[in-house]
Structure 1
């Protein structure tokens, strides 16, 4: 399951994002989205977890959690509509 994590403090790294989700189960990937030109965080990222039940627990457990002073928003990622 792909999970969208928003409202991340801009200094959070991929490794820190991964560490947030690992207590809930297996994490396939955790990536902060960065600006192409500067490489700076855009303040959101995506986490992939293979097991739906673990992903749902992570979403419920982490949504609104304060991380480095910011209350993060966590939800299941929606596929982009095809044009």
Structure 2
């Protein structure tokens, strides 16, 4: 399951993002979205967890958690509509 994580503090790394989710189960990947022009974090990212149950537990357990002073928002990522 692909999970969207919003309201990330701009200094959070992909490794730190993955570590947040590891207590809930296997993390396949974690990515912080970067601005192409500045190379800085856009304040959101994605985490891929292969087990749906673990992913749902992670979403419930981490949504609104304060990380580096920011209350993160965690939800299932929606598929982009194909054009």
The TM-score bracket by the shorter chain reads over 0.9
Which residues in structure 2 correspond to 1:26-41 (within 5 Å)? 26-41=26-41
Query: Which residue number corresponds to residue 44 of structure 1?
Result: 44
Instruction: Normalising by structure 1, report the TM-score.
Output: 0.98
Query: Which residue number corresponds to residue 80 of structure 1?
Result: 80
Give how far 1:38 is off. Answer: 1.6
Which residues in structure 2 correspond to 1:61-72 (within 5 Å)? 61-72=61-72
Query: Which residue number corresponds to residue 24 of structure 1?
Result: 24
Show structure 1 runs of 5+ residues with no match: none
Query: Which residue number corresponds to residue 59 of structure 1?
Result: 59
Q: Distance in 1 between matches of 2:23 and 2:39?
A: 28
Query: Hey, which bits of structure 1, 4+ residues long, moved more than 4 A?
Result: none
Pairwise CA RMSD = 0.5
Give how far 1:59 is off. Answer: 0.1
Q: Distance in 1 between matches of 2:70 and 2:38?
A: 22
